[in-house]
Amino acid sequence: MTYEVKVYVTLKEGVLDPQGSAVKNSLHHLGFGGVEDVRIGKVMSLRMEATEDTIDNQVKEMCDKLLANPVIEDYSYETEEVVSS
C-alpha cells in the first residue's frame, strides 16, 4: 500500500533556536511587535510503499536513524493511506 507520511521535527524545549530568534527580530522590525516567540522546525512529506503492519516501525526507524537528531530534536508523524482512484 502507498502511504503519505508527514514527519514533524522540532527542537526540544530549552534548545537554543537562533534561526527562530532571527525571524522574531525581523518580524518586530516589520512592525509585528506582538510576536513573543518563534521556533522553527521541519516538516517532511514522504510517499512510500509499506504494509499496514510495518509502516509505523519503518517511520520510527527512519526518524531515529536519519530524519531527527534525538539529542536535540523531537519528532511526531502522521500516516495516511493513499487510495488510488
Could you tell me if 15 and 83 are in contact, meaning their C-beta atoms sit under 8 angstroms apart? no
Quick one: 65 or 71, whose CB is closer to its own copies?
Answer: 65
Smallest gap from Cβ 24 to its own copies, in A, equals 8
Locate cell 534548545: which residue? Answer: 15
DSSP letter at 76 equals E
- Site mask for its own copies (CB under 8 A), range 26-55, x = bound: xx--x-x-xxxxxxxxxxxxxxxxx-----
Using CA atoms, how far apart are residues 9 and 71, in angstroms rounded to an integer? 12
Interface with its own copies (CB under 8 A): 2, 8, 10, 20, 23, 26-27, 30, 32, 34-50, 58, 61-62, 65-67
